[in-house]
Structure 1
């Protein structure tokens, strides 16, 4: 890899972390040797990007550090295609709505009523399931809330809603745990279906209590579920837990409440909640 992309990757990784990263760990994440890492850090410092070395802890990029010169900056993004968001306020579309608000990019919302609008030929051409949310981005159509969140995090990397590729283990694990086993277990439990031990072996969701215990352990004592910074995984997991506890499909465990409370101060989430409250007001 040439030096400029390497320096861009180094800046991107350091921007993602608010705590120091040890040199060996940082080099492994970037796929370079320690010697190359030291040279690259020296290069950044030489052009005015002050990478701080915390003794005994590692490297960190202060939040107020000067941006790199144009030669090292990330390439300018292509002219964005229009984002069209198909949703209903009382649906899983709220997850994607929060994600879009976190991105801070323009998008157009198309609100569909349940019933004929979601089953219309026009919308079925977008999502044959006749369900929301769905997203059109240029020529691409993405459905399923978790997939949309993952897609948007990659399509708009400047928002920092996905960890660097080498640090995405927990990010992918919990994003898709919440959209897979958790979602399935909640659905079965809500329908009064309680699989036998033999049936649980055949189901990806397994046992309802085991799913909740696993997620409790994942969020216990942590502000964010996939590292030291907020990510799309927090949007999905936090939404599932928040709505589940609100509607009583998920028990109000202390670990769940503490985790969700830590996400409440995000302005993007507050804007989405106001949108839902406005939709609910005629029903009150």
Structure 2
């Protein structure tokens, strides 16, 4: 039984969705960032956190990789060219989409007001549009890597929803249809009802 610490409104949704996809049992602690529950397992107070026995893992991408390798699900075999491509895609999504959205969030409400540069958001929106267009060109089937759902699909789908909530432009027809397919999955639908 895993413990997932972090509310669904954070990157914890990625971990919860992964666990639902693979059918692994978990306990959900819907903690906000810097809450007592989050700070008890991660001194930074960041979420998500995954507790597996006495081990606590932090960072959604690291947790997803750990779970996929441990359960042999939503991943290609380590050391294969397919896994190399999967890892490239995951890092591309993290760097070029998640990173852009996080920077926009920081300059919208995370940083102290006197440290925010609201004008940077126009550049970030331009960068987001450019980066998702490149990802749309990489779609090889129903999923980023063809016929198999992998970790980059979870992260990209989450980011596309985040972008919409943050007021970014739509990602174009191909990625809008992709997001709809991904969010229609039973595991995702179950997770969006959590706190």
TM-score range, shorter chain: 0.7 to 0.9
Matches within 5 A, 1:62-211: 82-113=1-32, 118=35, 120=36, 123-157=38-72, 160-165=73-78, 166=80, 167-190=82-105, 191=107, 192-194=118-120, 209-211=126-128
Structure 1 position 219 matched with structure 2 position 140: no
CA distance in 2, matches of 1:259, 1:247: 19
How far does residue 270 in structure 1 lie from its aligned partner after superposition? 0.8
SS at match of 2:4: strand
How far does residue 104 in structure 1 lie from its aligned partner after superposition? 0.2
SS at match of 2:29: strand
Q: How many residues align?
A: 179
Residue in structure 2 matched with residue 270 of structure 1 by the alignment: 189
CA distance in 2, matches of 1:193, 1:187: 15
Structure 1 position 259 matched with structure 2 position 178: yes
* RMSD of equivalent CA atoms: 2.5
How far does residue 180 in structure 1 lie from its aligned partner after superposition? 2.6
Does the CA contact (< 8 Å) of 1:186 and 1:249 recur in 2? no
Q: Which structure's CA Rg is the greater one?
A: 1
How far does residue 186 in structure 1 lie from its aligned partner after superposition? 2.0
Q: Which runs of 5+ in 2 are unaligned?
A: 108-117
TM-score by length of 2: 0.79
How far does residue 247 in structure 1 lie from its aligned partner after superposition? 3.6
Taking CA–CA contacts closer than 8 Å with sequence separation of 6 or more, which of the two structures ends up with the larger relative contact order?
A: 2
Residue in structure 1 matched with residue 156 of structure 2 by the alignment: 237
SS at match of 2:99: helix
How far does residue 240 in structure 1 lie from its aligned partner after superposition? 0.9
CA distance in 2, matches of 1:193, 1:267: 39
CA distance in 1, matches of 2:103, 2:25: 37
Distance 1:114 1:139, change over 3 A: closer
Distance 1:143 1:186, change over 3 A: same
